[in-house]
Amino acid sequence: MHELRAGEDVALGADAVWAVIGDFSGIRKWAGAVEAESTEVTPKGKVRTLTMPGGRTISELMTDEGPHHYTYTLDRPDMDAYFSTVSVVPGDANSSRIEYVISFQPKDPTAVETLTEQLTKFGRGNIKAMKRALGLA
């Protein structure tokens, strides 16, 4: 499994950051490209369905959650496995670190370099959007 990390230190406490970016069912608080969202509890777990521009939908299954993190997976035709983790690492009362981790295994091993570039850009873009929603960008 390949792993990519994006992260930034921010001048806000972890609870304040998590209140904006930590709601699995409230991704629109920071993800501006999401046009609509809904969440339902299924036998597999909590599933978030996102409607993107052009009507494309993405379904994401939460696989883990804790006080300042959640992990989700989604089916991608080009991947054998894909997981993303959104987390906030507490610092002191006025600081924390936002982290976005993507773990993936492509079906085509020769696609690792291209996917690494795409997913790195995606992860950094998400961190930027989170900071913007926090009034820090």
> Measured between alpha carbons, how far is 29 from 21 in angstroms, rounded to an integer?
7
Question: Do residues 98 and 14 touch, judged by C-beta distance below 8 A?
Answer: no
Give burial (CB, 10 Å; 0-12/13-18/19+) of 104.
buried
CATH 3.30.530.20 fits 2-133, yes or no: yes
> Measured between alpha carbons, how far is 22 from 117 in angstroms, rounded to an integer?
25
**CA neighbor of 49 nearest in space, from 24, 82, 32:** 24
Helix (H, G, I), strand (E, B) or coil at 107: coil
- Tell me what pLDDT residue 25 has: 94
pTM assigned to the model: 0.93
Model confidence at 86, in pLDDT bands (50, 70, 90)? very high
Domain ranges of the chain: 2-133
pLDDT, one tens digit per residue, over 29-55 is: 999 999 999 999 999 999 999 999 999
Model confidence at 58, in pLDDT bands (50, 70, 90)? very high
Strands 2-10 and 57-66: unpaired
Tokens (6 digits) for 109: 């091993």
The β-bridge partners of 11 are none
pLDDT, one tens digit per residue, over 101-111 is: 999 999 999 99
